[in-house]
Structure 1
Amino acid sequence: MRKVVIGLIMQIVAVCSVYAAEPVRIVAFGDSLVHGYGLPSDAGFVPQMQKWLDGQGISASLTNAGVSGDTTAGGAARVSWTLGDGFDAMIVVLGGNDTLRGLDPAQTRSNLNAILTEAESHKVAVLFVGMQAPGNFGADYKTKFDSLYPDLAAAHDVVFFPYYFAGIADRADNPAQLRLVMQGDGIHPNADGVAAIVAAMGPSVVELITQVRR
């Protein structure tokens, strides 16, 4: 009984610590999906996630380190100096441009592994966000690309959100519905799409913050 009570107390402390006064510093590290391509300054992923966390009463401060057009190679090249700013945690959203260009999944895996390893060396907690390849490069390519995300998440023991577009994935088979949440290029979400993505991913960001607070 005593162990059960202690366990419950520890869970309560972990949850309450998310709302502590000192904000957790989080860098959102990625490509145009993080940067906010084609959107007003207050409608991108970072400002909407910040607003979502604020609405939950959670003390966290997000910094936008998204670079439109960035590949995992670009991310690996800049991650060290990005993390030198003293962040507590990082959200990683990279790989979409790799698969749009048909780059070798083995290289994508190597680059993302380097990014996660660098985060470990800086003692920065990570929320690793998965991407999925389209089917136009074949089933083998898609299998290799899609599987590298859960593999790396398990290898590095990080918080994992399986698919960036999970919040709007239910519209994928309905083009009319999908258009309502996407920009005209069919690649980037519009403000409503970002809102749905943030709502789906938000609990994983809370999990990340909880991990930092422990």
Structure 2
Amino acid sequence: MVTRRSVLLGCLCTFLAGPVLPPAWAAAPPPAPVRIVALGDSLTAGYGLPADAAFPVRLERALRAEGRDVRVINAGVSGDTTAGGLARLDWALAEKPDLAIVELGANDGLRGIDPKLTEANLDQILTRLDKAGIGVLVAGMLAPPNYGKAFESDFNGLFPRLAKAHGSVFYPFYLDGVAGHPDLNQPDGLHPTAAGIDVIVARILPSVRTLLDRHAARTGARHP
């Protein structure tokens, strides 16, 4: 005989046997790493180095050692000029970066390309990144001395000028502490050794922290 009490007990057992759903906060996925694309030439790509010694790899390692959840994407191509960087910007943006480090111009300087063209190319790159909402660190470069003082002045001045115009974080000289030091460069005297890359990372790190902190302030993300 089915009684009211047995029906209630059956309903209670069914309820208790049902799936137990976690609270909404427990189901939220962890935040994704901050994606930084390093858009550059051979100095970024890691020319002549093992893959794990390239600038993006060493920079990511240094940032993760500080507890920062980041992924640094190697978008360096050996031999690239600012025109080449501009031409492949869509490819770099396909990586969906949150931030960018732009290290381009060394090959323009070595080839004696008119600094006005270099500046125009970089300006277009920075404008595209601005429109995409991607924070930028501009890594400056210094001209070789063999093209004269006028070229040197025009070339060296374009990087801080562009960084200021676009509100980018500015690191004055990518090869600071490495250029002119034979023990930190490969036999060609142009490309850093693994030890040279470590010097670059250590010196640029405060500027990258500034870039990340700006991103955190803008998005509400938290970084150590």
For each residue in 1:39-98, what CA deviation from the matched residue of structure 2 results, as whole angstroms up to 9, or x when unmatched? 011111111111111111111111100000000001111113321332100000000000
Q: 1:160 aligns with which of 166, 170, 195?
A: 170
TM-score (structure 2 length as normaliser): 0.81
In 1, are the aligned partners of 2:178 and 2:185 still within 8 Å (CA)? no
In 2, are the aligned partners of 1:183 and 1:190 still within 8 Å (CA)? yes
State the distance in 1 between where 2:169 and 2:116 align: 22
Listed as ranges, the gaps of 5+ residues in structure 1 are 1-19, 173-177
The structure having more radius of gyration, on CA atoms, is 2
TM-score (structure 1 length as normaliser): 0.85
What corresponds to 2:50 in structure 1?
A: 40
Listed as ranges, the gaps of 5+ residues in structure 2 are 1-29, 218-224
For each residue in 1:6-29, what CA deviation from the matched residue of structure 2 results, as whole angstroms up to 9, or x when unmatched? xxxxxxxxxxxxxx9542111000
In 2, are the aligned partners of 1:21 and 1:59 still within 8 Å (CA)? no
Q: 1:115 aligns with which of 117, 125, 134?
A: 125
1:200 partner letter = R
Matched pairs, number: 188
What corresponds to 1:91 in structure 2?
A: 101
Q: 1:106 aligns with which of 109, 116, 120?
A: 116
Cα RMSD of the aligned pairs, angstroms, is 1.3
- 1:46-65 matched pairs, under 5 angstroms: 46-65=56-75
SS at match of 1:195: helix
State the distance in 2 between where 1:52 and 1:149 align: 25
In 1, are the aligned partners of 2:98 and 2:135 still within 8 Å (CA)? yes
- 1:1-214 matched pairs, under 5 angstroms: 22-168=32-178, 172=180, 178-214=181-217
For each residue in 1:102-159, what CA deviation from the matched residue of structure 2 results, as whole angstroms up to 9, or x when unmatched? 1000000000000000101111000110000011000000000000000000000110
Q: Which has the higher contact order (CA 8 A, sep 6+)?
A: 1
2:92 partner letter = T
1:213 partner letter = A
In 2, are the aligned partners of 1:80 and 1:118 still within 8 Å (CA)? no
State the distance in 2 between where 1:154 and 1:60 align: 26
What corresponds to 1:9 in structure 2?
A: none
Identical residues among aligned pairs (%): 47
In 2, are the aligned partners of 1:167 and 1:199 still within 8 Å (CA)? no
For each residue in 1:154-194, what CA deviation from the matched residue of structure 2 results, as whole angstroms up to 9, or x when unmatched? 0001101010011335xx3xxxxx11100000000000001
What corresponds to 1:17 in structure 2?
A: none
In 1, are the aligned partners of 2:102 and 2:139 still within 8 Å (CA)? yes
